[in-house]
Amino acid sequence: MRDITVIYHREPEGWWAHSPDVPGWGAGGATYEEVRELADEGIPWFLEVPDQTVRLLHRFDAELSRTVGVSVEFEVTMAPAIKLELSHGLPSVASPAAAALKTTV
């Protein structure tokens, strides 16, 4: 299986993506979900390989990664442990990129 990185960018007009692993490929659309679907379908087609022979690694550009909001919740109990939960507001809860981060201190 071949790993292919797809980098997503957000502009005021919508979203676009490219892949450093697939020169010449790009996609654009109104929403992240639309562009991700274009990547999922378009990259195997562009490479002329079966879908199951590639694994797409979805990433966000550095600027978007710095501007994503972070919320912090603290849960303090009588025990000495403090639970710190971080979550970020990435586009789709169903997407791997939108997984919540959980850390117990």
Judge if 52 and 14 occupy the same domain: yes
pLDDT at 65: 55
Strand 101-104 versus strand 82-88 pairing type: antiparallel
Percent of the chain with pLDDT strictly greater than 70 = 59
Residue in 59, 61, 63, 42 with CA at minimum distance from that of residue 51: 42
Judge if 9 and 48 occupy the same domain: yes
Judge if 34 and 6 occupy the same domain: yes
Q: Name the pTM for this structure.
A: 0.59
82 has a pLDDT exceeding 80: no
Beta carbons of 25 and 19 less than 8 angstroms apart: yes
pLDDT at 36: 95
CA distance 64 to 6: 14
Judge if 57 and 6 occupy the same domain: yes
Q: Count the residues in the chain.
A: 105
pLDDT at 81: 47
Which structural domain, as residue segments, surrounds residue 75?
A: 69-104
Number of domains, the chain? 2
Judge if 28 and 57 occupy the same domain: yes
Judge if 7 and 19 occupy the same domain: yes
